[in-house]
A and B are shown apart, each in its own frame.
Chain A
Amino acid sequence: MTGIAISGELPLPSEPSYLGAGHTVSSWFATTDHKRIAILYAATITFFFFLGGIAISLVRIELFTPAGDLLSDDTYNKLFTFHGVIMVWFFMVPSIPGTFGNFLLPLMIGARDVAFPRLNLFSWYLILAGGAFTLYALIAGGVDTGWTFYTPFSTMFSNTHVIAAALGVFIAGFSSIATGVNFIVTTHMLRAPGMTWFRLPLFVWAMYATSLVMVLATPVLAITLLLLIAERWLNLPIFNPDFGGDPLLFQHLFWFYSHPAVYIMVLPAMGVISEVITCFARRHIFGYDFMVYAMVGIAVIGFFVWGHHMFVSGQSPYASIVFSFLSFVVAVPSAVKVFNWTATLYRGQIGFEAPMLYALGFLGLFTIGGLTGLFLASIPIDVHVTDTYFVVAHFHYIMVGGTVSAFFAGLHYWWPKITGRLYPDVWARFAAILMFFGFNFTFFPQFIVGYLGMPRRYHVYPPEFQIYNVLSSAGAFVLAAAYLLPPLYLGWSLIWGGRAGRNPWNATGLEWNTSSPPPRDNFPVTPHVEGAPYQYHPEGFAPEHIGENYRTQGEQL
C-alpha cells in the first residue's frame, strides 16, 4: 500500500458538533455551514419526494381499472405532470448533490467549508423559491403539459398554469448552476495538502462531473423555458409553425438539457455506490482511474446523444442514426463501472449491512435500466416503444431503482456521521429488501405492457392491458410502504439510537476522521493526505490502520 503511516488518527475536535452550534431559527435559515445547508436540502427534497409520490399514487390508483373512473382527464394529466416536474427538478436533481454533496464534499477533501458558503445558502433559497412557484401552479389549478413542456401544446393550447411552473423550474435551474459553480471551485481550490486529483474519493469525482454537467447544460434549459414563457405570455412567435417556427427546435433545446440532466441524476448515485461498496467489501475500488475516466466520459459524451429522444419526431433519419450510435457509445463507460463494482467484491470481506443491500440493489436495477436504454437506442425498437410504458419502466429503473436506492444507501451509510446516531439495522435491512421487491413489482410489468403497446400518459386504456396495470399499482403500494419505513426508524434513532462514535463502519474516508457529528469547522487541524483512498484490508476483519492515510499538522484550520 502506498500510504505511509506517520501517525494515527487525527485528534478528536473538542468543539461542539455543528448541530449544537446554535439553536435559534436564524442559526439554521441564515447558516453558511455546508452541513446545515445539507440538512435544509434534505428536509426540502424529502418533502418534495413525498409530494411527488402522493401525486403518482393517485395515478396508480386510477390505473387499476381501464376506464377513467376516479379522476377526470385533466386531473390525471395534471397529476403526472406534477409528479414528473417535482420528482425531476425538485427531488432528483438536488437530491444527492444538495444533501450528501454539500455535507461531504468539504469533509472528503479536508476543507472547512465549500468555496462560497453564502452562495451555497442562496442556492437553497432558489430551490425554495422555484418550489414555491411550482406549488403555486399546483394550487392555482395545475399544469398539464407533461414534464417535457412540448410546444405548441404548452405555448398555445394548454390553458393551465404553464408559466408559473416553467418559472419555478427556471429558478430552480439557477440553483443547480450555483451549486455546480460552487462545487467545481471547491474541488479545484480547497483540497487539503496531499489530496491530489487521483487521491480524491470517487464521490468527489462524481460531484465534480455532475457539476460540470449542471453548469453547462442547465443554462440551455433556462433559455428554453424563457422562450417558452415569452411565447406563451407575450405571444412572441418562436416555435409557432404558423409563422414558420419549428416545434422540433424546442425539442432539440429541451433534450440538449434533459439528456445530460439524466446524468446529473445518476452520476452522484454512482459516487455514493463506489463509497459504499468499497467499505462493505473492504477492498480498494477495482480500477480507480478507469472509474474516474468513465464518469468524466459519461459527462462529456452525454452532451451529444440528446436526439435519441426524437427518433419518431420527424428529425432527419440520418441524424437519428448518429444519435443512436452515440447512445451506444455512452453506454460503454457505464458498463465499465458496473464491471468494476462487481470486481471490487472479488476477494472482499463482504458485510451485508443496510447500505450494502441498497447498493447491491442499485447494481442490479441500474443494469436492467441501462440495458433497456440500449433497446431504446436501437431505432426500430424505439419506434415501437417510444412514448409507451417501456420508456416509463426504463427510466424508473434507473432513477428510482438506481438513484433512489443509491440515495438510501448513502443515507444509511452516512446517517451516523450526519446525526451521530445508530439506527436499528434489522429494520433498515427489511426496508431495503422490501423496496427492492416493491420496486420490481411496480415497474417490471411496465416493460411488458409497454412492448404490448400501451402508450404513456394514458388516462384510459384498452382492457387487455389491465392485468399488468393491476400488478403495477399493487406494487406501487408495497413500494410506498417501503418508503415510509426509513423516516420512521431513522426518526426513532434520532432520539433513542445509540451513539455512533467517529467511525462505526471502520471506513477509510477522511469524513470518518472527525467526530460524529462533525464540528462547525470539520477538522481541528489541517489533515495532510498521504495516500490513495479506499485502503481497506480484506484480511483483517477490523483494520487497525484506518488512520494511517492522514498525517496531522499542528497548524490550525
Chain B
Amino acid sequence: MLSVFMPIAASTEAVHTDHIYFALLALSGAIILLVAVLILIFSIRYRRGSKAERGAMPAVMSKQFEIGWTSATLFLALFIFWWVSSTQLSTLVPPGNALEIHVVAKQWMWKTQHSNGAREINELHVPLDTPVRLVMTSEDVIHSFFVPAFRMKKDVLPGRYTETWFRPTKLGTFHLFCAEYCGSEHSRMIGRIVVMQKDAYAQWLAAQPQSDGLAKTGEAIFRARGCSGCHSEASTVHAPDLNGLYGRKVQLADGRTVTADEAYLRDSMLMPRRDVVAGFEPIMPSYAGILGDGDIVSLTAYIRSLSAKKKDRP
C-alpha cells in the first residue's frame, strides 16, 4: 500500500530522507489539523446568530499570547532546522574508499565512465553496498542527475565539476532522470541505474569491451599535448612535479593554499594564471579550447594515478 505513495528506498540516504519526510509530515499534519480544527470549531460556535458568549477578549489572550506563539513557532522552526541540518552535515563528505565514476552529460544523454575506462550510455552499473562517488560535468547546458530511489540529485554544469555520492542498498534497476530543464528532449534524457552484487559487478566490468583505462588515455594526451615537455622529470623548464600532487595542499603565489582536487586540476589546465603555484613563473599556456571535457577527465585521471603510485611506494 505504502508503495503507491513512497518511491522505493534503495540507498542509505533514501532511508534517511524518508525519516525526515515522515517526521515533517507528522508535524505538518498536526499543525494543519490544529488550524483546521480551530477554524471549524470557531466557525460553528461563533456562526452568525449563535448563542455563544461574545464580549471582549479575555485578558490573557493579548500580547502574551502573541509572544507565546511567535516564540513557540520560532523555536519549533529552529529545532527542525537544527535536526535536519545536523544529520545533513554528516553525509556531506563521501567515504574515502568510494568507487569513482565519471559522468558527462550532454543534450540529451548521459555518458558514464568507470575507473577502468569502461563506458556506458544512459546506464550505470554499480555494486551493492559500496559507496559510489560521481564526478560530473556537462558539455553544453545544465542538467541534473536524479535517481529517485536513492533520493539523490545534483546539477551537472558546463565548465566545472560537481560531485555527489550514494551507497546503494538494494539490488535492482532504478530510474535515472534529468531533472534540470535542458531543452527539447529534457524529458527523454533518462536512463537506468543497475545495482548488482559486488562479484557480479566485477564480472560485468571485466566483460566490458577493453578500452584503455582513463589514466592510460590521459598519459597519451599528456605526451601528445606537450605537458610532459615541461612537467616530466627530464624537462629543463622550471615547472612543478605532478607526482603526488592530487589531494595535496598547494601553496599559491598569492598566499592562498588550495587542495589539488578535480576542480583545481581543471583550472590549472584551462586558466593557469588563476592559481599560480608559489615559486614558479606563470609560463604555462592555457589549454582552454584545446582540451575537450573528455581530455580533461582523462588527464585528471592520469595525474591522480601518479599520486596513487606515489602512495604505494614505501
Name which of A347, A363, A367, A372 has the most chain B CB atoms within 10 A of its CB.
A347
- Indicate if B77 sits at the interface (CB-CB under 8 A): yes
| Residues B49 and A541 in contact, CB atoms below 8 Å apart | yes
Q: Which chain B residues in 140-192 approach chain A with CB under 8 Å?
A: 140-142, 144, 146, 148-149, 151-155, 157-160, 162, 175, 177-188, 190
B80 interface residue, CB < 8 Å from A? Answer: yes
Selected contact of A380 from candidates B16, B66, B81, CB within 8 Å? B16
Whether the pair B46, A281 counts as a contact (CB closer than 8 A) is yes
Partner-contacting stretch, out of B28-36, B198-206, B235-243, B244-252: B28-36
Residue numbers in B under 8 Å from A372 (CB-CB): 28
- Chain B, residues 14-44, CB within 8 Å of chain A (1/0): the string is 0011001100100010011001101100110
Task: Give the secondary structure class of A's interface.
Answer: helix
Q: Would A383 and B17 be within 8 Å (CB), given that A77-B184, A350-B46, A457-B186 are in contact?
A: yes
> Per a CB cutoff under 8 Å, which of B46, B73, B140, B271 touches A244?
B271
Tell me whether A314 and B81 are in contact (CB under 8 A): no
A371 within 8 A of B: yes
Q: Would you call B311 an interface residue if the criterion is a C-beta within 8 Å of the partner chain's C-beta atoms?
A: no
A241–B158 contact, CB under 8 A? yes
Chain A nearest CB from B178 CB (Å) reads: 7
Taking the complex as formed, is B288 at the interface, i.e. its CB lies under 8 A from any CB of chain A?
yes
A127 to chain B, nearest CB (A): 27
In residues 376-405 of chain A, which contact B (Cβ within 8 Å)?
377-381, 383-384, 386-388
Q: Which residues of B contact A335 (CB under 8 A)?
A: 69-70, 73, 77
Q: Does B92 contact A (CB under 8 A)?
A: yes
Within 8 Å CB of A492, what residues of B?
A: none
Known contacts A453-B146, A541-B49; is-contact A242 B42 (Cβ 8 Å): no
Contacting residues, chain A, for B187 (C-beta < 8 A): 68, 73, 455, 457-461
Judge whether B313 is part of the interface by a CB distance below 8 angstroms: no
Chain B residues with a Cβ closer than 8 Å to the other chain, count: 80
Are A451 and B43 in contact, with the CB atoms below 8 A? Answer: no
Cross-chain contact B81 with A328 (CB below 8 angstroms): yes
Q: Is the CB of A363 within 8 A of B35?
A: yes
Binds B, one of A180-188, A338-346, A416-424, A510-518: A338-346
> Looking at the complex, which of A86-94, A132-140, A146-154, A549-557 is the stretch in contact with chain B?
A146-154
Cβ of B262 to closest chain A Cβ, rounded Å? 13
The reply to whether B85 and A379 form a contact with Cβ atoms under 8 Å apart is: yes
**Chain A, 255-288, contact with B by CB distance < 8 Å: what is the 0/1 string?**
0000000000000000000000000010000110
Given contacts A248-B157, A378-B80, A381-B17, is CB(A387)–CB(B35) below 8 Å? Answer: no
- Docked Cα-Cα span, A476 to B84, in Å, equals 35
In residues 98-147 of chain B, which contact A (Cβ within 8 Å)? 107, 140-142, 144, 146
> B78 near A: Cβ within 8 Å?
yes
With contact pairs A144-B184, A313-B155 given, residues A324 and B178 touching in the complex (Cβ less than 8 Å): no
Residues of A within 8 A of B288 (CB): 242
Whether B49 lies near A378 (C-beta < 8 A) is no
**Is there an interface contact between A374 and B92, defined as CB atoms closer than 8 Å?**
no
Q: Once the chains bind, are A157 and B107 in contact (CB under 8 Å)?
A: yes
Q: Determine how close the nearest CB of chain B comes to the CB of A111; give it in whole angstroms.
A: 31
- B53 to A347, Cβ gap below 8 A? yes
Kindly state whether residue B89 has any CB partner on chain A within 8 Å. Answer: yes
Q: With an 8 A cutoff between CB atoms, is A448 at the interface?
A: yes
Q: How far is the CB of B55 from chain A (nearest CB, A)?
A: 7
Q: Considering the complex, give the chain A residue whose CB is closest to the CB of B73.
A: A335
Complex contacts, A378 vs chain B, CB 8 Å:
20, 24, 80-81, 84-85
User: In the complex, which of the residues A244, A380, A386, A460 contacts B188, with contact meaning CB atoms closer than 8 Å?
Assistant: A460
Q: How far is the CA of A242 from the CA of B138 in the complex (A)?
A: 12
Q: Secondary structure of the B side of the interface?
A: mixed
Taking the complex as formed, is A129 at the interface, i.e. its CB lies under 8 A from any CB of chain B?
Answer: no
Identify the closest chain A residue to B14 (Cβ): A384
Question: Which of B5-13, B276-284, B299-307 faces chain A?
Answer: B5-13
In the bound complex, how far is the Cα of B81 from the Cα of A74, in angstroms? 40
A350 and B48 in contact, given A335-B73, A455-B177 (Cβ under 8 angstroms): yes
Q: Could you mark each residue 229-246 of chain A with 1 if its beta carbon is under 8 Å from any beta carbon of chain B, else 0?
A: 000000000000110111
Residue contact B186 to A458, C-beta cutoff 8 Å:
yes
Shortest CB-to-CB span from A311 to chain B, Å, is 9
- Please determine whether A374 and B46 come into contact, CB atoms closer than 8 angstroms: no
* Interface: B208 (CB within 8 A): no
Q: Are B148 and A342 in contact (CB under 8 A)?
A: no
**Contact A367/B35 with A150-B181, A247-B158, A290-B70 known, Cβ cut-off 8 Å:** yes
Interface presence of B210 (CB below 8 A): no
Is B148 a contact of A384 with CB atoms below 8 Å?
A: yes
Closest-CB distance, B80 to chain A (whole angstroms): 7
Question: When the two chains form their complex, are residues B159 and A342 in contact, meaning their CB atoms are under 8 A apart?
Answer: no
With a cutoff of 8 Å between Cβ atoms, the chain A residues found around residue B28 in the complex are: 368, 371-372, 374-375
- The answer to whether the Cβ of B211 comes within 8 Å of any Cβ in the partner chain is no
A348 and B42 contacting across the interface, CB-CB below 8 Å: yes
Q: How far is the CA of A457 from the CA of B187 in the complex (A)?
A: 7
Q: Mark A155-184, 1 if CB is under 8 A from B, else 0.
A: 011100000000000000000000000000
Q: Give complex CA distance A70, B238 in Å.
A: 64
The answer to whether B96 has its CB under 8 Å from any CB of chain A is no
A367 CA to B271 CA, complexed, in Å:
49
For B145, the closest partner residue in chain A by CB is A312
Interface positions, chain B 38-62, Cβ under 8 Å from A, are: 38-39, 42-43, 46-49, 52-55, 57, 61
Is B253 engaged at the interface, CB distance under 8 Å to the other chain? no
B257 at the interface (CB under 8 A from A): no
Across the interface, which residues of A come within 8 angstroms of B52, CB to CB? 347
Judge whether A347 and B39 touch: CB under 8 Å: no
A241-B159, A312-B154 as given contacts; A157 in contact with B180, CB under 8 Å? no
Asked if A219 CB lies within 8 Å of chain B CBs, one says no
Measured CA separation A525–B33 after assembly (Å) = 49
B227 to chain A, nearest CB (A): 21
Closest B residue, CB atoms, query A248:
B157
A436 CB to closest chain B CB, in angstroms? 13
B153–A383 CB distance below 8 A: yes
Given A314-B155, A324-B85, A384-B153, answer yes or no on A343-B61 (Cβ-Cβ < 8 Å). yes
Candidates B46, B157, B182; contact of A241 at CB < 8 Å: B157
The answer to whether A342 touches B39 (Cβ under 8 A) is yes
Q: How far is the CB of B78 from chain A (nearest CB, A)?
A: 7
Question: Please, how many angstroms separate the alpha-carbon atoms of A398 and B6 in the complex?
Answer: 24
- In the complex, the answer to whether A387 meets B157 with C-beta atoms within 8 Å is no
Q: Do A324 and B5 touch (CB < 8 A)?
A: no
Minimum distance in angstroms from A39 CB to a CB of chain B: 32
Per the bound structure, the CA–CA distance linking A286 and B15 in Å amounts to 43
Chain B residues with CB under 8 Å of A461's CB are: 187
Contact A384 B152 (CB under 8 A): yes
Instruction: Tell me which residues across on chain A come within 8 A of B148, comparing CB atoms.
Output: 384, 452-453
A150, A281, A286, A290: the one contacting B142 at CB < 8 Å is A150
Once the chains are docked, how many angstroms separate the CA of A284 from the CA of B177? 52
**In residues 435-459 of chain A, which contact B (Cβ within 8 Å)?**
448, 451-453, 455-459
> Does A329 belong to the interface (CB within 8 Å)?
yes
A59 to chain B, nearest CB (A): 12
Q: Which residue of B lies closest to A287 (CB)?
A: B66
Q: Are A332 and B48 in contact (CB under 8 A)?
A: no
16 contacts across the A-B interface (CB closer than 8 A): A152-B140, A157-B183, A312-B144, A321-B85, A329-B77, A329-B78, A332-B73, A336-B69, A347-B55, A375-B28, A377-B81, A378-B84, A380-B88, A383-B154, A451-B5, A455-B178
Using A332-B70, A453-B149 as known contacts, list a sample of 9 further A-B pairs with CB atoms less than 8 Å apart, ordered by residue number in A: A152-B140, A153-B183, A287-B65, A314-B157, A328-B80, A345-B46, A350-B48, A364-B35, A387-B180
